[in-house]
Structure 1
Amino acid sequence: MNILQALFFPPEQPGGVSSMVPYIQERFIKMGWGMELFSLPKRVRNKGQEEVSFETFEHRDFEDNPLVAKYIQTYKDYVWWTKLRLQKSYDIIHAHHPIAALVMKQLYPDTPLIMTIHSSYERELMLNGRIREGGTEHRFLTSIYRELEAKADLLTTVSASFRSYIAPYVDRPEAIKVIPNGYDEKRFKPIAHDNAVTQLITVCRLVPAKGLDILLRACAELKERGCPFVLHIIGDGPMRKELEALAQELNLYDDIIFYGYMLHPEEFMPFFDVFVLPSRAEAFGSVFAEAALCWLALVGTNVGGIGEQIEDGVNGLLVEPENHLALAEALEKVVSDPIYRHNLARAGWNKAKKEYSLQRVITQFKKVYLGLKPEGSAT
Structure 2
Amino acid sequence: MAKKILFVHYGDNWIRGSERCLLDLVKYLDDRQYHPFIWTNNQTLSRQLDIMNIDNEVNQFPLLLGWKAPRFDAANWLNLIEYGCKIIERESIDLVHVNSAAPCQWMIAAAKIKHIPLVTQLHCSYIARDRLTLGINASPHIIAVSKHAAQSLLDDGYPKSNLSVVHNGIDTQALIDQPKVDVRKQLNIPDDDFVFATVGSLIHRKGVDRIMTALRHLTLEYPNAHLVVIGDGPLRSNLENQAELLRLTHCIHFVGEQSNVVGWLKDCDAFISGARNEAFGLVIAEASLANIPVIAPYEGGIPEFVRHGETGLLYKNVGIRSMTKAMRLVIANPKLSAYLATKGYEHIIAHHDLEVTCRAIEKVYLNLWQNKPVCSIGVLSTFQPLKAVMARRFSLLGGQHG
**Is TM-score (shorter-chain normalized) higher than 0.5?**
yes
1:78 offset after TM fit, Å? 11
Aligned counterparts of 1:83 and 1:267: Cα–Cα separation in 2: 43
Which letter does structure 2 place at the counterpart of 1:179? V
Distance 1:203 1:27 in 2: 25
Q: Identify if the C-alpha distance between structure 1 residues 238 and 350 changes in structure 2 by more than 3 Å, giving closer, same or farther.
A: same
Q: Deviations over 1:227-270 (max 9, x none)?
A: 42221112222322221111111111121111233455334332
Q: Aligned residue for 1:275? A: 271
Partner of 2:42 in structure 1? 41
Q: Is the 8 A contact 2:10 2:102 kept in 1?
A: yes
Over residues 156-213 of structure 1, what are the superposed CA-to-partner deviations in whole Å (9 max), with x where a residue is unaligned? 1011122223333344356321111111222122778895322211111222222222
**Equivalent pair of 2:41/2:59 in contact (CA under 8 Å):** no
Task: Say if 1:177 and 1:24 are closer, same or farther in 2 by CA, change over 3 A.
Answer: same
Counterpart of 2:92 in 1: which secondary structure?
coil
What secondary structure is seen at the aligned counterpart in 2 of 1:141? helix
Residues 314-325 of structure 1 aligned to structure 2 (within 5 Å): 314-325=310-321
CA-to-partner distance for each residue in 1:286-329, whole Å, 9 max, x for gaps? 11111112212100000111111111111111111132121111
Shift of 1:102: 2.7
**Ranges in structure 1 where 5+ consecutive residues have no aligned partner:** 53-58, 123-138
Pairs within 5 Å for 1:338-349: 338-349=334-345
User: Is the contact made by 2:262 and 2:289 (CA closer than 8 Å) also made in structure 1?
Assistant: no
Gaps of 5+ in 2: 45-56, 185-190, 372-402
- The aligned residue for residue 92 of structure 1 is 95
Is the 1:312–1:318 Cα contact (8 Å) retained in structure 2?
A: yes
User: In structure 2, how many angstroms separate the alpha carbons of the residues matched to 1:305 and 1:240?
Assistant: 26
Q: Determine helix, strand or coil for the equivalent of 1:312.
A: coil
The answer for the alignment partner of 1:55 in structure 2 is none
Q: Which of 335, 358, 364 lines up with 2:360 in the alignment?
A: 364
Instruction: Please tell me whether the aligned partners of residues 181 and 356 of structure 1 are also in contact (alpha carbons under 8 angstroms).
Output: yes
Contact 2:275–2:297 (CA<8 Å) still a contact in 1? yes
Determine which of 108, 132, 138 is the counterpart of 1:143: 132
Match of 2:106 among 66, 87, 103: 103
Q: Does structure 1 retain, via aligned residues, the 8 Å contact 2:170–2:286?
A: yes
Structure 2 residue identity aligned to 1:13: I
**Partner amino acid, structure 2, of 1:367:** K
Aligned counterpart, 2:218? 222
Distance 1:166 1:215, change over 3 A: farther
State how far apart, in whole Å, the 2-side matches of 1:360 and 1:11 are: 29
1:91-240 alignment runs, 5 A limit: 91-109=94-112, 110-120=115-125, 122=127, 139-144=128-133, 147-150=135-138, 152-173=139-160, 175-189=162-176, 195-240=191-236
Q: 1:299 corresponds to which residue?
A: 295
Distance 1:204 1:71 in 2: 31
Sequence identity (%): 22
Aligned-pair CA distance for 1:271: 2.7
Greater C-alpha Rg = 2
Query: Are the aligned partners of 1:184 and 1:357 in contact in 2 as well (CA < 8 Å)?
Result: yes
1:232-251 correspondence to structure 2 within 5 Å: 232-251=228-247
The AA in structure 2 aligned to 1:22 is L
User: 307, 312, 329: which one pairs with 1:311?
Assistant: 307
Q: In structure 2, what is the equivalent of residue 134 of structure 1? A: none
Q: How many residues align?
A: 343
C-alpha contact (below 8 Å) 1:46/1:73 kept by paired residues: no
| CA distance 1:168–1:32, change in 2 (3 Å) | closer
Deviation per residue, 1:113-165 (Å, 9 max, x gap): 1001111354xxxxxxxxxxxxxxxx5224247x2221x22111011122223
Residues 340, 41 of structure 1: CA spacing in aligned structure 2 closer, same or farther, 3 A cutoff? same
1:9-24 paired onto structure 2 within 5 Å: 9=11, 13-15=15-17, 17-24=18-25
Q: Using a 3 Å threshold, how does the CA distance of structure 1 residues 255 and 76 change in structure 2: closer, same or farther?
A: farther
Task: Indicate if the aligned counterparts of 1:3 and 1:91 stay in contact, CA closer than 8 A.
Answer: yes
- Are residues 174 and 32 of structure 1, via their aligned partners in 2, closer, same or farther at CA, if it must alter by over 3 Å? closer
2:254 aligned to which of 251, 258, 263:
258
